[in-house]
Amino acid sequence: MNSNLNKRTTFIDLGLIDYQQAWDYQTDLFNKILAVKSENRNRPNNEQLATNNYLVFCEHPHVYTLGKSGDEKNLIIPGTDLASIGASFYNINRGGDITYHGPGQIVVYPIVDLENFFTDIHQYMRTLEEAVIQTLNEFNIEAGRIKGLTGVWLDVENPIKSRKICAMGVKTSRWVTMHGLALNVNTDLSYFNNIVPCGISDKAVTSIEKELNSTQDLQQVKKILKGKLASLFEMQLTE
């Protein structure tokens, strides 16, 4: 057992931040963790350095991001028209296809060393989903998973009515994670009409606001989601 197992996790809320700025920010944290792991290769077991963990929350201005396995044809709106709707577009280094981020959506970037928690990517993804499912349950919204699809869905048993409320896409290297999840709270869902979300053409998207027919307190949703993530990963959160 690694005596340097470190579940201390720094919580950071960046607020509304440009996508590129946030990407640079998480890349910097990601690389710093990898640098410590590289240094540990040359250190004896009793001199191993603990690796840091970060839980980053934010919102983005309107932006479309395409994962490295995605198809640019899933951006339906011509790229030249993006400016007219106040949106930008990025090819990025996470898994998954195309998605949308915008105001009223909680974006979560866990930059963590999974060797401090558990070394299982499948378990990591399911734990992120579980935190969202439990958060939605606090609002009496019954959510779940659809076999073969990542993210969190409503009406999972009904293929015609099922709709996505949370998208996910991550990158990992040597058990260090970046990117994460996006939960639609008060999101302007019309922006999803310009893409084939996550490359899935036969499923709708939704938000907490749409399901409850009322605008939500974003800070309250953040607080609940933060608590669920900390509990499920057994993080010792510090601000």
Catalytic (active-site) positions: 198
Q: Measure Cα distances from 65 to 19, 45, 57, 60, 116 in Å.
A: 9, 41, 17, 11, 29
Checking phi first, is residue 82 left (phi over 0); if not, alpha (psi -120 to 50) or beta? alpha
- Give the integer Cα–Cα distance in Å for 120 and 110: 15
Contact indicator for 89, 152 with CB cutoff of 8 Å: no
Nearest to 57 by CA among 230, 190, 193, 203: 230
Burial class (CB in 10 A: 0-12, 13-18, 19+), 190: exposed
Residues 6+ apart with CB under 8 A from 183: 105, 106, 108, 132, 135, 152, 165, 166, 208, 221, 225
Whether residue 196 contacts residue 76, with contact meaning beta carbons closer than 8 Å, is answered with yes
Tokens in use for 100?
């949308």
